[in-house]
Amino acid sequence: MKKTGIFCLWMIFIGAAFVSLGLGKAKQTQNEQSGIDVARLNITHVGASSVNGDRTLGDPFYGLQNLFDSGKDKDYSSWVTDPAAEHWITFVFDEPVEVSTVVLEASGDNRPKDFSLEVVSFSVDSEQTPEYFKSIPVSGSVTTYQFKKPVKNIGQLTIKFPGPNMIEISEIRILGKVLSDIKVVEQKPALGLLKAAESRDTITYVRIKNVSTHDYDLLLVGEEFFGMLKAGQATDYRKFDQAYSYNSVKLAIDDQVLKLTPDDYVGEKPLGRGFFSYLIGVEDLANKKLSIKAIQDK
């Protein structure tokens, strides 16, 4: 009886462990699919076509911050517009984001019937081509639109609603992830778009790609520390205050330390606005010789 009892206890324990692992995996998968709400981050700015009664964007009654309060203010918890031919709300991101899902909560007589999306990606030049997703019907109090595949490198996302009547929206969530490894903080987005757009005009984003057959350790490019980078892999994009077609590199391969130190950058033109990759390779491991090349990513 004792052996049977111990065996049963072990079977219960193992079964519970498998259930626990299964639930944990399901929850992790769900989180990976939904992502974070990039509308509620310190890198996000928001503007809109109007606030009812010619009020400011930050008006406590019908302003934009009500879209991000999770319904805590029961009396005034919506963005309400003036009557107009078209209404819009725009999100501008300081860092590139990937978006998979847009969630809109609206109810009552002033709920819009449909909406469209306009997405503008961070561009490698001054030309930015918007991508449109039109005629998304609003059904019920919560409407969830999921892109067929996540849209990457988004710098601006606009939600447009038809007029002429005013509309009322209670909450907006934009689910996805931040593509750079900058530290983000959850908060309500900043109001206003002009300064946000101006600050991005000259931002340089650079990732590092290991084009050798060796794993890199203690990788340092310029003043940016990347740690380990396996052969054939690339890092996430990082913001560089200024970057040129080459840079200083320091890394370790096994027990060897390799360095590449440019003389100077006199006469060199900065890479400028856009997304770039530093391709870092090993020309001669015995002589500790590295190579670096900058390419512009599309």
Instruction: From 176, 199, 222, give the residue that closes a domain.
Output: 199
User: The CATH number of the domain where 188 resides is what?
Assistant: 2.60.120.260
User: The CATH number of the domain where 241 resides is what?
Assistant: 2.60.40.2890
Are residue 177 and residue 49 in the same domain, yes or no? yes
Q: 232: domain range?
A: 204-296
Contact criterion met (CB below 8 Å) for 259 and 290: yes
Are residue 195 and residue 218 in the same domain, yes or no? no
Are residue 85 and residue 192 in the same domain, yes or no? yes
* Domain-located, residue 10: no
d(Cα 41, Cα 48) in Å, to the nearest integer? 18
- What are the CA-CA distances from residue 171 to residues 47, 56, 71, 187, 189 (Å)? 15, 18, 8, 14, 13
| φ and ψ of 28, to 5 deg | -65, -45
Instruction: From 165, 199, 233, give the residue that closes a domain.
Output: 199
Q: Assign 248 to helix, strand or coil.
A: coil
Structure tokens at 214: 């060796």
Are residue 233 and residue 190 in the same domain, yes or no? no
Instruction: State the pLDDT at residue 22.
Output: 37
Q: Is the Cα torsion angle 221, 36, 161, 88 positive or negative in sign?
A: negative
Are residue 169 and residue 63 in the same domain, yes or no? yes
Structure tokens at 91: 């999100």
Nearest to 275 by CA among 67, 62, 122, 173: 122
pLDDT in tens, the chain (298 residues): 444 444 444 444 434 433 333 333 333 333 334 589 999 999 999 999 999 998 999 999 999 999 998 877 666 789 999 998 889 999 999 888 999 999 999 988 899 999 999 998 876 544 456 788 878 999 889 999 999 999 988 989 999 999 899 999 999 999 999 988 888 999 999 998 765 655 555 678 889 999 999 999 999 999 889 999 999 998 888 888 788 999 999 999 998 999 999 888 888 888 887 788 999 999 999 999 999 999 987 6
- What are the CA-CA distances from residue 153 to residues 90, 157, 275 (Å)? 16, 11, 10
Are residue 173 and residue 107 in the same domain, yes or no? yes
Contact criterion met (CB below 8 Å) for 155 and 93: yes
CA 262 to chain CA mean position, Å: 33
d(Cα 173, Cα 208) in Å, to the nearest integer? 32
Instruction: State the pLDDT at residue 114.
Output: 94
